[in-house]
């Protein structure tokens, strides 16, 4: 689904990280305090909020820091000492260091990316930032240095299928969802240089307008949300990086699904159904990767949900409602996967577009 005035909510996902946004695994507790970072397009800010990990509720934690034009994605480094924001309409990446109080300090000088960067990922070692440039049909790769510095590697950007909107890596493989061609393509990346090479063979057919990808923690299965055909394609990841369609795929979703998230336990998949204002949840078969709708398969969100984030502790899920200027919070039943509402929706600045969690 193409949003004419909003954001393309697209994700660069890395296998072994358990969630798509902060790329962090340090804070696995379900008690204490966490931090949630929200990008908002109406005021071009990224704003921190505290998270009460006993209740899941969120509260203001300080003032927002400026981004570029139309922030579309946010990601934290694995060490959680830096954050990056992809700015779709200014074609650049904003860089931040994370202070001891968990607020952000902007680093002067945004890093130029390709045209319309809409998604990002960081490898598990924290060496490289991968950026999907939807407008220039390519992937930029940057080495990450101290103080949130970024240096584009030799050979970057690397060509992709038309309109890359989502990427996920498993080990040394990177997967790209391309919304125009309707495929998921596969690349290997060099762990020393970050350079990308296409995995031999054809691209792998998804549904209509694939908008996001997610991978289970064990790196066995990949899921692509198809916002044009209202379903989720499921694949097994083979040892050579190729994909095999799972029996029964694609699996039905709500209207306009995007932003898939696998919980840290690898048992459940959640997707934001943007046009039906809900989250759909699925149980993942650990042996086959087949998806089964949860006993309570959907839960309502605010208007136009575009981004899901699951806290590393695996207990709470948060939704950015782009059209409602709110964040919805839910508690995950770790046995059944069913979501329960946490408090009232939290009002943000205009058009929240992405969430980072630690």
Q: What CA–CA distance (Å, rounded) separates 217 from 312?
A: 12
Q: 322: pLDDT confidence band, cut at 50, 70 and 90?
A: very high
How are the residues of the chain apportioned to helix, strand and coil, as percentages rounded to the nearest 5?
Answer: 0, 50, 50
Q: 8: pLDDT confidence band, cut at 50, 70 and 90?
A: very low
Q: Does 16 have pLDDT greater than 70?
A: no
Q: 21: pLDDT confidence band, cut at 50, 70 and 90?
A: very low
Q: 12: pLDDT confidence band, cut at 50, 70 and 90?
A: very low
pLDDT digits (tens, 9 = 90+) for 156-179: 999 999 999 877 777 788 888 999
CATH class of 12-260+352-357: mainly beta
Q: 349: pLDDT confidence band, cut at 50, 70 and 90?
A: confident
- The overall average pLDDT reported for the chain is 90
Please, which residues bridge with residue 298 across strands? 280
Please state the domain extents for the chain: 12-260+352-357
Q: What pTM was computed for the model?
A: 0.91
List, as one string, the DSSP characters of 177-217. EETTTTEEEEEEE-TTT--EEEPSS--EE-SSSEEEEEE-T
**Nearest Cα residue to 80 out of 29, 30, 148, 134:** 148
């Amino acid at each position: 689904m193409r949003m004419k005035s909003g954001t393309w909510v697209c994700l660069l996902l890395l296998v072994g990280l358990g969630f798509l946004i902060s790329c962090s695994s340090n804070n696995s507790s379900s008690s204490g305090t966490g931090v949630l970072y929200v990008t908002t397009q109406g005021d071009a800010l990224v704003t921190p909020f505290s998270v009460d990990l006993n209740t899941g509720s969120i509260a203001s934690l300080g003032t927002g820091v400026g981004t570029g034009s139309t922030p579309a994605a946010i990601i934290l480094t694995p060490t959680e000492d830096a954050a990056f924001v992809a700015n779709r309409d200014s074609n650049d990446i904003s860089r931040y260091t994370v202070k001891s109080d968990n607020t952000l300090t902007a680093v002067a000088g945004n890093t130029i990316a390709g045209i319309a960067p809409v998604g990002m990922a960081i490898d598990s070692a924290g060496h490289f930032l991968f950026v999907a440039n939807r407008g220039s049909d390519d992937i930029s790769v940057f080495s990450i240095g101290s103080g949130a510095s970024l240096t584009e590697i030799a050979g970057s950007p690397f060509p992709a299928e038309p309109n890359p909107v989502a990427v996920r890596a498993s080990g040394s493989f990177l997967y790209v969802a391309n919304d125009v061609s309707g495929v998921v393509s596969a690349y290997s990346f060099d762990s020393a240089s970050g350079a990308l090479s296409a995995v031999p063979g054809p691209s792998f057919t998804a549904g209509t307008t694939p908008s996001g990808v997610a991978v289970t923690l064990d790196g066995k299965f990949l899921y692509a949300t198809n916002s044009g055909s209202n379903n989720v394609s499921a694949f097994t990841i083979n040892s050579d990086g190729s994909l095999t369609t799972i029996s029964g795929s694609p699996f039905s979703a709500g209207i306009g699904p995007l932003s898939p998230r696998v919980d840290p336990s690898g048992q459940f998949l959640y997707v934001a159904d943007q046009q039906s204002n809900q989250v759909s949840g699925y149980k993942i078969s650990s042996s086959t990767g087949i998806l089964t709708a949860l006993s309570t398969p959907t839960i309502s969100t605010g208007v136009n949900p575009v981004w899901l984030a699951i806290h590393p502790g695996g207990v709470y899920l948060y939704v950015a409602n782009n059209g409602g200027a709110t964040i919805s919070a839910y508690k995950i039943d770790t046995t059944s996967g069913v979501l329960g509402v946490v408090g009232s929706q939290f009002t943000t600045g205009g058009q929240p577009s992405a969430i980072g969690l630690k």
